[in-house]
Amino acid sequence: MFAKLKKKIAEEAATAPRSGVRIPRTISKESITSVGADSGDDFASDGSSSRDDLPAQLLRRNDQIRRLEAKLSDYAEQLRIMQKTKEKLEIALERHQDSFMRVVQVQVERPSCSQQISRLEENPLTPAAIEDASIKKLQEQNDSHQASRAKMAEGMALALEKKDQEWMEKMANSEKEKAALSARLEEMMEQSLALFQKRDDLDELEGFQQQELAKVKHMLLRKEELLSQRERELQQKEADIQSAKRGLAEARGKLQTLERQHEESCRLNSELEIEREELLLLREEADKKVGELEGRCQELQSVIQQVSEDFQKSQSMVSTLEKSLHELQTEHDALKLQQQKAAVTVEDKERLLVDLQKKVTSLERRLRGNLSQDEHLQELLQEKSSLEQSLDETRTELLAVRTNHADTVSSLEAQVSRMSVTITELQTLLRHKDDSSRAYRERTDTQIAQLEQQVVESNERLSSAQQQIAEKQQNMEKLQGERSAEKAFLDQQLSLLEQQSQEKMSRLEDCITSLQKDKQTLQSRLADLDKRMNEVDSVLKQRTEELEQCRVELNSRQTLSTEIAKALEETRRQKEGLQTQVAELSAALQSSQQEVTTVTEKLALREDDIRSLQNEVQGRQASLVEVQEEAERLRAQLEQVELDKDSQVTSLKEELLTQTQQLDSCQARISYLEVEVETLTEQLHSHSVVCEEDQNGSVTVDDLDHIQKVNKELEQELSDKNRTIKQLQQRLAELKRTLQKELKLKPESEAEGKEKPTESRAEKPERVCPDPAPASTPSPPTSNTTVTNTSDLNDSREINFEYLKHVVLKFMSSREAEAYQLIRAVSVLLNFSREEEDMLKQTLEYKMSWFGSKPSPKGIVRPSISGSAHWS
């Protein structure tokens, strides 16, 4: 497994210098990277703590080796610096000696010169004497200078010898330290080799453990499959039992229905008998009623005949009475006329008699005496008054007669009306009697007909009831026969099914008891094995903790270069102890594996029993736990998806809002330009009107050129605005497409409805711009009228980067199944090749599966030190 590492370590050991030469730092890095590349994934793939600690130990040891190498390189650099400083100091000493000698010469020469000058001033000499004296002085000075120089040279030689000795001692010490460090480095390399060997052993042990665990898992899977088969068989048996129970229930239901039908038929028979008796009673009563009705009919017929005779008699009496009334009325009228005539004649005669008597008296008075005129007038007046009185009396009499006549007439009319009322009452009575007689005849006829119909119907009912009773009795006899046969057959089936069910229940109870016993024994054994495995794990954890403590001690002792050898010896001792512990643990693991094999053999013998138990107990619990975990995972996924979608929707909405704001600003700018064009056209129109009214001048060529230029500028601005609007619309459409692709939604009609008004808005300025009018004043200049393609590219890159970041974060934070679905998106965004995409798929499949070999890296991707990344 670590063949490359061993080869590199052997080459380093062969090519490494033995004394004073610094070991290159790149060797350890390459070895570490190769170790990480070869075995990082193997350690990262397992989730146990021991496998995670071993690469940490190796990394710490490699760090220690690197630190030692760094210290060695620092010492070598210090030695080089010391040598350079030594050379510099020697050169400086030489320079200092030269300068010192010069200064000494100058100092020696200065007093001698001053003495000579003073001497010459005191006693001037001849030139020859001066030359002799100067020569002597120079010789003396030369002698003294040589003596001082010799003394200085001796002192400097002594100082240099001392410094050389000191530097030699320092060099010896540094060489000793370098040798010690090289020895320690070799020891550390040996320890790293030992650690690598230990890691190989541990990897092999872990590989064996994984193989054994895979075998155990495979055996458990097989047992679970067998248990599932047993559960299916039990379910089939339960289904058969349930079907038999259902058949029993159906048979019992049929029996109950037959009993109910029998009871109902008996009840119907009793009810029919009661109805038959009631019908017979009704028949007798009806016969009695018919006889009574016939007698009443005869009586009514006799009464009707008498009533008819009485009616005829009353009609004849009425006719005679009417005739007599008419005759009486005529006689009464004649008598009234005669009476009135007689009364009138009598009254006339009496009045004539009274008048005649008065006239006679008046004439007698006239005849008796001669009367004067006054008396004559008085008599005439008396006659007049008497005549008036007679007139009044006659009038009163006439009135009284009239009143009497009216009273008699009214009394006669009242009598006549009374007679007519009595006649009408008699007529109404006769009519009522006729109507009542007719109605009574009709009622009696209808009652007689109804009674006859009831008698016929009752006879028919009796006959039909008798027939139904006979048929029902026959059916009841048939049903009783069938029921007795079915009851006997069902009783036999029930007895057989009960016997079979009791036998099956007894067998199942025996099997369950035996399986429970086996389960208890196996659970106890598994508990023992778990305890042993926990003990082994605890021992391993203790050893790993001791290793970590050792590492901490090594790190603390690395600060002091003098204590490295002691730390190495302690690590060797600990290594030997660990090797012994690893051997003990391997022996314990072998024994535990042997026990596991024995247990698996026993489990293989008891597979059938465990299947039923696991199906009943563990299967349902595991399924419930898995369902709950899946539900929680799905809820978390849904929440994450909703959050992601909400964030994407909000970001896209913000982008859409910004772009709609840009569109609104552009449209406002277009409307502003349209208003300006309209104002310019109005100004031109007014200017042309003023020119026509004035008729004093004409438009110059410069004005026309200026207007055309302004018109062209306005047209360019409008075309630029239309382009920007189209670009923004294209960006909107692209953003909507990306949003729809991400959210996997269908394009909505609202988005199309929103695009149509924007297109119509964009087409409006195109319709306005073909006929611009020339203007006399230029429009205000616009800023940022055109939008370059670089902004679109930047926006698209930002969008792609945001989407890439989102997809990569989702890929890194999701589980294996979800990451497997996101492989295509990641490969498209990162421009992976086909081999790299296949390599990603293979790695994820390797992580999701229990068995299979690890795929080799292809393309640009290389394995890292820490191994493969965990996605969940």
pLDDT band per the 50, 70, 90 thresholds, residue 299: confident
Task: Quote the CA–CA distance of 627 and 607 in Å, as a whole number.
Answer: 26
In this structure, of 87-96, 605-614, 753-762, the range with the lowest mean pLDDT score is 753-762
The percent helix, strand, coil of the chain (3-state, each to 5) is 90, 0, 10
Q: What is the pLDDT of residue 608?
A: 66
Most confident of 95-104, 464-473, 764-773: 464-473
Give the pLDDT mean for 63-75. Answer: 81
- Say yes or no to pLDDT of 139 above 60: yes
For residue 8, count CB atoms less than 10 angstroms from its CB and return exposed for 0-12, middle for 13-18, buried for 19 or more. middle
Q: What is the pLDDT of residue 31?
A: 42
Q: What is the pLDDT of residue 870?
A: 41
pTM attached to this predicted model: 0.20
Q: What is the pLDDT of residue 368?
A: 66
Q: What is the pLDDT of residue 764?
A: 40
In this structure, of 8-12, 78-82, 280-284, the range with the lowest mean pLDDT score is 8-12
pLDDT band per the 50, 70, 90 thresholds, residue 395: confident
For residue 661, count CB atoms less than 10 angstroms from its CB and return exposed for 0-12, middle for 13-18, buried for 19 or more. exposed
Task: Quote the CA–CA distance of 328 and 424 in Å, as a whole number.
Answer: 19
Longest pairwise C-alpha distance within the chain: 261
pLDDT band per the 50, 70, 90 thresholds, residue 871: very low
Q: What is the pLDDT of residue 701?
A: 59
Percent of the chain scoring above 90 in pLDDT: 0
Q: What is the pLDDT of residue 3?
A: 60
pLDDT per residue over 34-51, tens digit each?
Answer: 444 344 444 344 444 455
Q: What is the pLDDT of residue 45?
A: 43
What is the enclosing helix (H) or strand (E) of 543? helix 373-558
CA atoms within 13 A on the CB side of 614: 21
Q: What is the pLDDT of residue 599?
A: 66
pLDDT per residue over 511-531, tens digit each?
Answer: 777 777 877 777 777 777 778
Q: What is the pLDDT of residue 780?
A: 37
In this structure, of 599-603, 699-703, 743-747, the range with the lowest mean pLDDT score is 743-747
Most confident of 236-245, 505-514, 679-688: 236-245
pLDDT per residue over 261-298, tens digit each?
Answer: 778 878 887 887 887 788 788 878 878 877 887 787 78
- Say yes or no to pLDDT of 457 above 70: yes
pLDDT per residue over 337-389, tens digit each?
Answer: 877 787 777 877 777 777 777 777 777 776 666 666 677 777 778 777 877 78
Residue with more model confidence, 82 or 365: 82
Residues in CB range of 659: below 8 A, 6 or more apart: 728, 731, 732, 735
- Say yes or no to pLDDT of 500 above 50: yes
What is the enclosing helix (H) or strand (E) of 636? helix 618-694
- Say yes or no to pLDDT of 689 above 60: no
What Cα–Cα distance (Å) separates residue 182 from each residue in 20, 175, 317, 550? Answer: 8, 10, 174, 22
pLDDT band per the 50, 70, 90 thresholds, residue 788: very low
Q: How many CB atoms lie within 10 A of CB 185?
A: 19
- Say yes or no to pLDDT of 168 above 80: yes
Q: What is the pLDDT of residue 783?
A: 36
**Mean pLDDT across the chain:** 71
Q: What is the pLDDT of residue 119?
A: 60
Q: What is the pLDDT of residue 750?
A: 45
Give the pLDDT mean for 676-689. Answer: 64
- Say yes or no to pLDDT of 796 above 60: no
Give the pLDDT mean for 90-113. Answer: 67
Give the pLDDT mean for 186-199. Answer: 82
Give the pLDDT mean for 424-439. Answer: 78
Task: Quote the CA–CA distance of 819 and 700 in Å, as a whole number.
Answer: 77
pLDDT per residue over 624-634, tens digit each?
Answer: 677 677 767 77
Write the Ramachandran bin of 788: left for phi over 0, alpha for psi from -120 to 50, otherwise beta. beta
Give the pLDDT mean for 191-200. Answer: 82
